[in-house]
A = this chain, B = another copy of it.
Amino acid sequence: MYPANTVVTDVLLGKRTSRTPVWLMRQAGRVLSEYRKVREDAGSFKKMVTTPELACEVTIQPVDILGVDAAIIFSDILVVPEAMGLRYEMEENRGPVFPRRIDSANDLRDLHIAQAEELSYVMDAIALTKRELNGRVPLIGFAGAPWTIFAYMVEGSGSKTFSRARRMLYREPELAHHLLDMITASTVNYLKGQVKAGADLIQIFDSWAGVLGPDQYDEFSLKYIRRICDEVTGVPRIVFPKGAFFARRGLNDVNCEAVGLDWNMDIRESRQLMPDKVLQGNLDPCALYATRDDIRKATIKMLEAFGPDKHIANLGHGLYPDTEVDSVRCFVDTVKEYSEKVRGRK
């Protein structure tokens, strides 16, 4: 065991570890009653995001309650467009909504490249959380991939097809690249700030990667992820390209340590396509609705498919809000116990 738990960062740095590390996307919140209490008292999601003490509190909850091997700072990918000048609101049951959206070159005039200082509440939350964690587990910083941020800024909200955002790629590719450039520069500033504030590693979430075809993904998304990974150095970087099964081969060349897999991506095939990467994932979040016994079986099956090396256990998507806490704990415990046992044997 580790006095300070560095099992996540050790795997990312290519070191041998005594077991497979585990954390969960959306672990900060949603399934924990302790989170819901803080959320209720805060009154709004954005209040929590912008108040370092609250963000810190819910960031650490899953470390205490679930025993995960890393904390991920409680925040939102859309703080970046907001810092660039495009305010958004988080509507209950609907998700993020931008009162103004980007539709033409004119709309770019009101935007600027965000500086880390403009997101000081995130930097403060990271610094505070690092102090409070006191070395127990590493702290993950994060940002949305430029394409995903672009998709929200142009669409104005979530969408099943993001056809408005994709239309701009076809109709005004230069405008799209201009905006993507601005988002990328802002994101680099933001992530460098997070690292300076104390983030031990970072993850880039490309939540809407899967709505692009392979050629457009290369041109409008992967290109900018590459740039971020080339510029934000000094900490390990994980890229999670949700739905971009077709981009796996290309991701093997990106300057990052790890790639996250959806639950519908075949593990062995993904290993072949990305032999140089640590892989993260990928249990179906719905598998946690099963009985404890079936959760253990599914988790072990996943661990066997990844093998003991170059793997960070996680789900293939964020935790769903109605998951039972004991089921999440069963997943975390199974990863720890089984992977430690397997290595003990060798």
What per-residue 1/0 map shows which CB atoms of A143-174 lie under 8 Å from chain B?
Answer: 00000000000000010110100110111000
Say whether, besides A264-B212, A290-B171, A317-B161, A166 and B246 are in contact (CB < 8 Å). no
Kindly state whether residue A285 has any CB partner on chain B within 8 Å.
yes
- Residues of A157-214 at the interface with B, using a CB-CB cut-off of 8 Å, are 158, 160-161, 163, 166-167, 169-171, 210-214
- Interface extent on A, as a size class? 35 or more
Can you list, as one digit per residue, whether each of A245-272 has a CB less than 8 Å from chain B (1) or not (0)? Answer: 1100000000000000001111000000
Q: Which B residue sits closest to A267, measured CB to CB?
A: B214
The answer for the CA separation of A217 and B246 in the assembled complex, in Å, is 19
Residues from chain B with Cβ under 8 Å of A285 in the complex: 163
**Given contact pairs A166-B284, A210-B243, A246-B265, a sample of 15 additional A-B residue pairs in the complex whose CB atoms are under 8 Å apart:** A158-B160, A160-B160, A161-B317, A163-B285, A163-B320, A166-B289, A167-B286, A167-B289, A171-B291, A211-B264, A212-B264, A213-B263, A214-B264, A245-B246, A246-B266
Q: How far is the CA of A264 from the CA of B158 in the complex (A)?
A: 20
Q: How far is B52's CA from A231's CA once the two chains are assembled, in angstroms?
A: 61
> What is the minimal beta-carbon distance from A323 to any residue of chain B, in angstroms?
9
Residues of B within 8 A of A230 (CB): none
Interchain residue pairs with CB less than 8 A apart (14): A161-B317, A163-B285, A163-B286, A163-B320, A167-B286, A167-B289, A170-B290, A171-B290, A210-B264, A212-B264, A213-B263, A213-B284, A245-B245, A245-B246
Which B residues lie within 8 Å of A25 (CB)? none
B294 in contact with A170 (CB, 8 Å)? yes
- Taken together as a complex, chains A and B put the C-alpha atoms of A211 and B316 apart, in Å, by 11
CA distance A316 to B212 in the complex (A): 11
Of A158, A212, A213, A317, most buried by chain B (CB within 10 Å of CB) is A213
* The one of B170, B210, B289, B316 that contacts A289, using a Cβ cutoff of 8 Å: B170
Determine if B171 and A289 form an interchain contact, defined as CB atoms under 8 angstroms apart. Answer: yes
Cβ B246 vs Cβ A264 within 8 A: yes
Q: Does A113 contact B (CB under 8 A)?
A: no
Interface residue A287 (Cβ < 8 Å from any Cβ of B) = yes
Cα A156 to Cα B162 in complex, Å, equals 23
A286-B169 in contact (CB<8A): yes
A292 to chain B, nearest CB (A): 12
